[in-house]
Structure 1
Amino acid sequence: MLETVFASTISETLTFTATLTSIFAALVMGLFISMVYIKTQGKEGYSPGFTITLIMLPAIIAIIILLVGNNIARAFSLAGAFSLIRFRSAPGDPIDISYVFFTLGVGLACGMGYIAYGILFAIILCTVMVILSITKYAKPKNKNMLLKITIPEDLDYQNCFDDILNQYTQDYKIQRVKTSDFGALFEIVYALRLKNDINQKEFIDKLRCRNGNLNIVLNTEIIDEKIYI
């Protein structure tokens, strides 16, 4: 019974019914994955365009697999056509990239006719994603932040803020120092984690008193890049 359910719906001769079944199954699973993505990433923020991409991508991959079939010449022709495409975009969130590969796998399963495997694959991984989101696995209690401070050139940037940072942060480290205004100013970039329940305005006010009321930027969004503290 299980062998029949999990058997491929695509025969050697491609039929109209089998093609529609694979495409619609891919769209439905893409919609399901997209809904899980919205549910798990809602608090972190997400791009509406990316959620639509998650719906369309499995169907696109399924269509490509259906067209290629077992024809090697078609496979090389499609590879040559897709090599002409250039994607210009900013590096995405690692979670977004994992969802892209997730939808690619589902689309591949549907294109090969293994719809039951695609459904099982989608249910298992979506369940894992939901569990990880609910349990907040690997998410630090305190956010990793970036602090950018502009100081005049005559101020020693190595030690001038240590007492304030020790008071308000758990960990901090200078990531980058650069000059501006022809060397008249320095911009220091810190990676840090603030202590629990601190007053951020009071923290910034103390920094402003120390740097002569020059520019200070505190990035309060979670930084997913690796930060060495």
Structure 2
Amino acid sequence: MLEKLFKGIFDGEQQQVIGVGIFLLLVGISIVLGLVLALIYACKNKTTKSFTMTLSMLPALVCVVIMMVNGNIGAGVAVAGAFSLIRFRSTPGTAKEIASIFLAMAVGLIMGMGYIGFAVLFTIILGLFMFCLNFIGLKTKGYCKEKTLKITIPEDLNYTEVFDSILTKYTKMYELIHIKTTNLGSLFKLTYNVTIKDEKSEKAMIDELRLRNGNLEIALMRQENKNYDL
């Protein structure tokens, strides 16, 4: 009776069924490896509780999915399509977060195929590598010339060409990418992507822009990768 409980109703007579013991073993080890990856990622990294929980559960989830479709080509293709449709509807993750997610999925995939030793070895190698990178603290050096410039102007100021002469003087390239009204329509907020010619000229550029926009708010920051299309 217990064996029938863990046997699929669509399984054939000759189809190999995964034993309960093997299932629990693979899932248990996947959970342990997921916790190890989550702890390594949390070391020296700013993270949230939800992301840590997701990272720790992901190997076990992928492991179960792979075990269930083992040998079934049609189900495997369907699962691959489902994974390709996954979207994170929260704040876009960093490259490090995405790499950690793929790492957890890879561990779950190896476990689901039944290669326990390879999964443990892979976790140890990549975990130690990630742990070392956290302590090395690789940093990019140098001045970033690609900036995002935000300028607030009054509604009666024609923004189409009012800043062109200043931006041409201090930047190699500039592009108006976003226009937004604020303060009940009495102000406009302009967003430019600019490439600064000389880092020492930033203050001079901002001072000249302040003379044109009536000394309203101006912000210069690292270039944003936002998509303003609907």
Stretches of 4+ aligned residues off by more than 4 angstroms = 83-86, 141-145, 177-182, 191-196, 202-207, 222-225
Letter in 1 for 2:163: Y
Q: How far apart are the structure 2 equivalents of 1:75 and 1:162?
A: 55
Taking a change above 3 Å as real, the CA distance of residues 84 and 33 of structure 1, as seen in their structure-2 partners, is closer
**Counterpart secondary structure, 1:217:** strand
Q: Is the deviation greater in 148-157 or in 112-121?
A: 148-157
Shift of 1:86: 6.0
- Structure 2 distance, partners of 1:24, 1:36, is 19
**Structure-2 change in CA distance of 1:136 and 1:153 (3 Å):** farther
Q: CA RMSD in A?
A: 4.1
Instruction: Quote the residue 1:176 is aligned against.
Output: 176
Aligned residue in 2 for 1:61 = 62
Q: Specify which of 212, 215, 219 is matched with residue 213 of structure 1.
A: 215
Structure 1 SS opposite 2:164 = coil
1:20 is aligned to 2:24 = yes
Residues 44-87 of structure 1, C-alpha deviations (whole Å, 9 max, x = no match) = xx3432221111110001111222222345435x5399489763
Structure 1: which amino acid aligns with 2:23? T
Q: Does 1:159 align with 2:162?
A: no
TM-score, normalising length from structure 1?
A: 0.65
Share of identical aligned residues, percent?
26
Is 2:3 the partner of 1:29?
Answer: no
Aligned residues: 200
Structure 2 stretches lacking a partner, 5+ long: 1-15
Change beyond 3 A, Cα 1:188–1:24: same
Q: Report Cα offsets for 1:182-206 as digits up to 9, x if no partner.
A: 9x9571424568969xx99x99677
Deviation at 1:128, TM superposition (A): 2.2
Mapped contact 1:61–1:107 kept (Cα < 8 A): yes
Deviations 1:69-116 (A, max 9, x none): 22345435x539948976362543222221111111100111122122
The alignment's TM-score, normalised by the length of structure 2, stands at 0.65
- Cα distance change, pair 88–123 in 1 and its aligned pair in 2 (3 A): closer
Report if the CA contact (8 A) 1:177-1:186 is conserved: no
- SS of 1:70's equivalent in the other structure is coil
- The answer (yes or no) to whether the contact 1:174–1:188 under 8 Å persists in 2 is no
**Aligned-residue offset at 1:39:** 1.8
Distance 1:131 1:203, change over 3 A: farther
Question: Cα offset for 1:145?
Answer: 5.0
Are the aligned partners of 2:166 and 2:209 in contact in 1 as well (CA < 8 Å)?
A: no
What are structure 1's unaligned runs of at least 5 residues?
1-11
Look up the equivalent residue of 2:192 and give its one-letter code.
V
Larger radius of gyration: 2
What is the CA–CA distance in structure 1 between the aligned matches of 2:193 and 2:18, rounded to whole Å? 59
Three-state SS of the structure 2 residue aligned to 1:130 is helix
- Per the alignment, in what secondary structure is the counterpart of residue 27 of structure 2? helix
Instruction: Give the corresponding residue for 1:115.
Output: 116
Structure 2 Cα separation of the partners of residues 23 and 216 of structure 1: 54
Aligned partner of 2:3 in structure 1 is none
Tell me the secondary structure at the aligned position of residue 176 of structure 2. Answer: strand
